[in-house]
Structure 1
């Protein structure tokens, strides 16, 4: 089968930052599905892994990355029961295994969902990683619920990105929160408002902007861009006994002592935890993706696709990664095969 990968970590402009190659078509085992891939989407995790997975070495065989896809089940393992051959599916994959930048992929059925019927293949491919991340950070990590939290305030740092775009919608339409999102350019401000944000503030003067908008403190904060860069401001803006969560990791340890006097809770969210550690509740991702598909088909959630490229090739992946690395992407970028 055709695939795109890399043997060494190079700048995206380098000739061999991605290479086209042929490799053996995989076979599903156990609870795995073999999926014929029709479209993929790209995320910051893709270029971060490309930049770091083979920094000081050259891999013997190219590494295939990519963790957002839509396709059709072509075969199933002998223990699979959630899907049948011919089913249209979408999923965000498993970071410990080969990715979706290929014609075919095997994937555990417990982290796969039914494709939203109302979406094109490229729009569907743009949903899984961001939807799972946003859902888990709001409902599994912070444990927000409409019953107890309706009307409370949520600050989303980086509202116009892929995860922010879905998080705004889930927080507003499912949890009933008052959503404050950050954005700085006119087009990203407009996008956040389209997604449903009540208030949009400039992240460059975050504390001042939030206070100017009428909020001394906020109940919840989610960081989708840089935990270290915004740590002091998050600690200042969070309400006593509030909750902060982040997906971005940190180059340096975060100063948790700054949260002590407010008795603030803090959580990390890593969408690949369930698949990496084969957790007992791994099938939750199957269920979340099915719920999200229903919400999209019912028109409760809006798709977040803003740009589509065509064709599985090294050149197309280079173009996609270069766009993501620019830091100016609004919503999601997909590639239709």
Structure 2
């Protein structure tokens, strides 16, 4: 087979435009030494897909997709972590063609073994969000199994917040999670995943958090930091840490008097810059697979669509664009 089916875009268009996504035949990728050739069997859609499709002008056909589960069909000459026939899951790299194609090349150091207790569709709901949550918790906030204190998760019912709440409950039991959510159903969801307290981010957040943590929280994760830095300076304790995943520069001067540190999390940093510890993403995905198979973490899925085609990807992009999902949209089968 010399070509494979891919879905991408050639112009940055709104999701309502009939040409916002296109199906084309593309060459089967040539493998680099550490690459796997994966037969993609399931994918999910993330906010980064929507952002790129709507605003990033491509050079030719750009194939989106940053979550996948599938089966290894070929390996590069330097591959040591996987073999043909292995079932895997991963989020890939932002500077290579994405997962919305039947056959994809991906560096083995970014890939984990698929949890055995999950279907391909369920596994495809996890990689990007669990990598982001893991790196935020452990690489940036510096939490360990011995940590104790309070963690505030702003935007807890988003994909990353859902993963972070479960990881904190499973791996840092001494940390008390305060989660933000709106509405009783979302509050109940995030409590069921391990949050000790739920506050409404549409209300007076400082008053609500201070009622639970009078001295402030030790760590804060935020998916929505724009215009909130001064507020965070009031609810994070001295010498606390904040980690953000949204875009844009921030004036962090309001944090200085409390010696609060600010961190950015970007899960593509290791692959984009060929970090010397790139294999850390493989290791964390394998660790997550163990947690899943032990029943300590699970995907939260809003909708499951089949097959993987333009119509269903458009539906998924439309759903993600609303910003109101409490769980992932996954697609499987071709």
Which secondary structure does the structure 1 equivalent of 2:112 belong to?
Answer: strand
Query: In 1, distance between residues paired with 2:168 and 2:138?
Result: 9
Partner in structure 2 of residue 139 of structure 1:
138
Write out per-residue CA displacement over residues 183-214 of structure 1, whole angstroms, 9 at most, x where no aligned residue. Answer: 11222212111211111111112112222445
**1:288 to 2:281 alignment:** no
* TM-aligned CA deviation for residue 29 of structure 1: 2.2
SS at match of 1:222: strand
Task: Pick the aligned partner of 1:18 from 18, 21, 41.
Answer: 21
5+ residue gaps, structure 2: none
Which residue of 2 is the match for residue 259 of structure 1?
255
Specify the alignment match of 1:180 in structure 2.
178
Q: Secondary structure at the match of 1:180?
A: strand
Q: How many residues end up aligned between the 2 structures?
A: 328
Q: CA deviation at 1:79?
A: 0.9
TM-score (norm 2): 0.95
Partner of 2:232 in structure 1?
234
Q: Which residue in 2 is equivalent to 1:249?
A: 247
Does residue 38 in structure 1 map to residue 41 in structure 2? yes
Q: Show CA shifts across 1:226-263 (max 9, x none).
A: 2113222111100011011111122xx31221111101
The Cα shift of 1:33 comes to: 0.4
> Match for residue 322 of structure 1?
318
253-262 or 291-300: which moved more? 253-262
Q: Helix, strand or coil: the match of 1:95?
A: coil
Match of 1:161 among 132, 136, 158: 158
Q: Is the 8 A contact 2:230 2:255 kept in 1?
A: no
Q: Determine helix, strand or coil for the equivalent of 2:239.
A: strand
Give unpaired runs (5+ residues) of structure 1: none
* 1:63 CA drift (Å): 0.8
Tell me the equivalent position of 2:68. Answer: 69
Question: What SS does the aligned partner of 1:82 have?
Answer: coil
- Per-residue Cα deviation, 1:42-91 (whole angstroms, up to 9, x for no partner): 1111101111111xxxx563210110000000000111111000000000
How high is the TM-score relative to the length of structure 1?
Answer: 0.95
Does structure 2 conserve the Cα–Cα contact (< 8 Å) formed by 1:210 and 1:216? Answer: no
Moved more, 93-102 or 297-306: 297-306
Is residue 90 of structure 2 the alignment partner of residue 94 of structure 1?
no
Alignment partner of 2:327 out of 295, 320, 331: 331
CA distance in 1, matches of 2:77, 2:227: 48
C-alpha distance in structure 1 between counterparts of 2:16 and 2:287, whole Å: 39
Q: How many angstroms apart in 1 are the aligned matches of 2:139 and 2:325?
A: 27
